[in-house]
A and B are shown apart, each in its own frame.
Chain A
Amino acid sequence: MSKPSYDTLQVGDTLPSLTLDPVNRTTLALFGGASNDHNPIHIDIDFARKAGMPDVFAHGMLSMAWLGRLLTQWVDQRQLRHFSVRFTGITHLGHRITCSGKVVEKFEAGGEQRVKLEIQTVNQYGDVKILGDAVVAL
């Protein structure tokens, strides 16, 4: 994949998307340990039910980490200036998440040429789970 260039990128251009395997309990257990998030609501169905949820569900930060992969497969992480998300829906077991992004602005700041991206995750039914934005220097 050729490196994105500020001059050739246009507002509206999309990033190569990233689709993950459906969320399962093993992924949640591994991510809980690897990410230091030991909240039992993501790994212990008894705890989740007591908290009023039908089952365990994915960590928001798992999806944000996948969005991080979307960004760093597009540009070198050293070019990433800002990355923020809003968790708008819960990602449940069995959801197959696709991460996508598009250029919404080209601008100069801090003596650099930068682009702002809108990024999101959606499940296989088209439900948006995370909305966010990122700024990268090109």
Chain B
Amino acid sequence: MIDKKHIGKVLPGFKAVAEAGQLRFFAKAIGETNPVYLDEAAARDAGHPGLPLPPTFLFSLELLNPSTAWRDEMGIRRDRILHGEQSFDYHRMAYAGEALQFDTRIADVYDKKGGALSFVIRETRVTNPRGEHVADLRSSLVHRNV
């Protein structure tokens, strides 16, 4: 079981940048055809300052967190986890080349099925280089304990 003492734990903050090339690779991998996500000229024609991060890409940047020690500290094993839920609340768009700040805390830890499963809820606030609030992410991780 994952110890509830980790509720409130603050993970080390970090910055991450989505490069235009990676956004095009992501677009290709999901079969995206809308030129706004593939072509900087099309994005600018649509009024964007550059290639926009598509709606779920902030999660991909969150995965770049260089600190993985928190998972070990909490006893989370990669072969035992499933993604349970994911949510995004958007405040403004984010674009290729912006160094985005990610600040994450463990919002909750609880068990189900008599302790067979633990749920770890993580909340992340994303801020752009101008200090503006971009989005809030909330992830639920399901950990098999037995």
- How many A-B residue pairs have C-beta atoms within 8 angstroms? Tell me: 105
Interface size class of A (residues with CB under 8 A): 35 or more
Given A35-B29, A81-B90: A61 and B78 interface contact (C-beta under 8 Å):
no
Which residues of chain A have C-beta atoms less than 8 A from B78's C-beta? 39, 41
Contacting residues, chain B, for A86 (C-beta < 8 A): 84-85
A73 to B78, CA, bound (A): 34
Asked if A62 is an interface residue, CB under 8 A from chain B, the answer is yes
A77 to B34, CA, bound (A): 11
Instruction: Kindly state the separation between the CA atoms of A87 and B80 in the bound complex, as whole angstroms.
Output: 16
Contact of B26 with A77 in the complex, beta carbons under 8 Å: no
- Residue contact A64 to B52, C-beta cutoff 8 Å: no
Which of B57-65, B96-104, B113-121 contacts its partner? B57-65
Asked if B132 CB lies within 8 Å of chain A CBs, one says no
> Which applies to chain B's interface (DSSP): helix, strand, loop or mixed?
mixed
Contacting residues, chain A, for B59 (C-beta < 8 A): 35, 61, 64
Give the size of the chain B interface in residues (CB under 8 angstroms): 34
| Known interface pairs A21-B31, A31-B30, A61-B56; A83-B25 also in contact (CB < 8 Å) | no
A78→B93 contact, CB < 8 A: yes
Task: Compute how far the CA of A41 lies from the CA of B80 in the bound complex, rounded to whole angstroms.
Answer: 10
Q: In the complex, which residues of chain A have a beta carbon less than 8 angstroms from the beta carbon of B25?
A: 30, 33-34
B63 A83 Cβ-Cβ under 8 A: no
Binding site for A on B (CB under 8 A): 22, 25-26, 28-32, 34, 46, 52, 54-57, 59-61, 63-64, 78-80, 82-90, 93, 138
Chain A positions within 8 Å of B, measured between CB atoms, are 20-21, 27, 30-31, 33-37, 39, 41, 47, 50-51, 59-62, 64-66, 68-69, 71-73, 76-78, 80-87
